Structure 1
Amino acid sequence: MRALLLGANGQLGRTFLDHGALAARTDLVSASRDGVLTAGGTGEVADLSMPESLPALLDRVQPDVIVNAAAYTAVDRAEQEEALATRVNGEAVGVLGQWAAAHGALVIHYSTDYVFDGSQAQPYAVDAPTAPVNAYGRSKLAGEEALRRSGTDHLIFRTAWVYAAHGHNFLRTMLRLGAERDELRVVADQHGAPTDTGLIVNATLAALARWQPASATERQTLRGTHHLVASGATTWHGFATAIFEQAVAHGLLPRAPHVLPIASGEFPTPAPRPAWSVLDNTLLQTRFGLTLPDWRDGLGNVVGEMARSARG
């Protein structure tokens, strides 16, 4: 089985490569926007901002599985670049789906909690009404809809509050600021489940292992949209507090800064954020026989990994 990994240099793509299991299980072809891989070596060129360029790549690689870990993720900048965000997150995903439908391939695609407006106070079910409140969310919803319209076999995994030991994310920002300041102000009225890329990779691989031997009838019950997030929930303030607790415990920081809770209105951003981003992950766990651990487990694993790396 040949797999094509798009977005190999992103947070999630790098974790797929570091993990190694996808490469061990498949004939893996990795692609980035310029063909250079952060992990070393060269791969294919896949620029999703030019959707018209993708069929030639797919014809050359002939993947059985397309893992789309590429995305436009600059949430605030998307307010000024919605057309570009929609090309990458929407139109390009439709092109992948159309090619896959014509060639009998499976598309694994990652979406976001931002397809919801965040107005409810209970975990969002997979089939809850979508109503994105910002350009990024609209672009990601466009990708979901285009992939479904293509008719191809697909697994759409909505995730949220994604972070890793590498890349640009809330965890790394907090660790940098915590080393520089004695006090931080962090939003305490937005709720979600911090989800590390290791959890996303492990769950994706488990889902793929369940998919491969399944009959056509079984695949009909597996395909579609699922919520792939850690269990439990917190706020950005709660996440920051837990980050510093773990960082001190693992020796990454000598002391934790004081973390003051603030309202979203005290930290305005160009793109509005959903107040409630908690996703119900029950369907994924039930359909694929998975257990998605509490978000604190993933945080401890990632901070521990960073501490070991810092020690050499």
Structure 2
Amino acid sequence: MYSRSGTTTSTKSCSEQIEKLKYEIKTADAIVIGAGAGLSASAGFTYTGERFEKFFGDFIEKYGLSDMYSGGFYPFETLEEHWAYWSRYIYINRYMDAPKPIYNELLRLVDGKDYFVLTTNVDHCFQKAGFDKSRLFYTQGDYGLWQCSKPCHQKTYHNETVVRKMLDKQENRKIPGKLVPYCPVCGAPMAMNLRTDMTFVEDEGWHNAARRYEDFLRRHTGLHILFLELGVGSNTPAIIKYPFWKMTYQNPKTVYACINLGEAVCPDAIAKQSICINTDLAGVITALKEAKNEA
């Protein structure tokens, strides 16, 4: 079912597909939003180009970094420089508002609907836009959380206060040594709570969100569910894309919708239950929101 050769790309016009999606949003018993990096990119959270150069010009000049993401893996010589880089990274991608109101428009689009959000994004944009925290499952972590790098225990720590101090006190690409974070239990350096390897901490909050998501799906078994996939690429398809395909296949009342420029595809087996919109994500959300306002 998941073979690339067995997938279909819609040839129908975007306007026709948007009209179908508008109807499904209106009539669905529940909506499950699956959001990937493309959604935050459409909101202006880009990791290359002008935005990267604006905030990391000194790091680019010294190390020749090509983008923000890969820079996060650079082997800086000291923790003082490592956290100077990461404090900027965290601040602009977690504590600054998104340049464009796509998340706010998405919230207005599902306002009044029974929804749940499953996302691989770690920038907290859903919660900042006003989405109900109890309806969010951040599967891959949160820029706003630290954990022990070993890890010696399964707990995470909020970092905003210290990150703002790091940002304020850094000089010459370094923070003061006294601001370097260490585990309060074993003394090892702290690390980001991001799923990059097997050390990722799934804390109590993570497991509670996972249970709420499972319960949401269980309570809506057999009903008319819209699986709305937004900006999900092919890097981690097993988290959102493949489960959405599988659940759509298992329930004939379900509809799968995918909005993703260049990657709006679905398996042949669920083509009749699918809406694939191969165009700019932000434009579709805005069009849907405006259509709802006019209704």
Q: TM-score, normalised by structure 1?
A: 0.24
Computing the radius of gyration from Cα coordinates, the structure with the larger value is: 2
Larger RCO (CA within 8 A; separation ≥ 6) = 2
Q: TM-score, normalised by structure 2?
A: 0.25
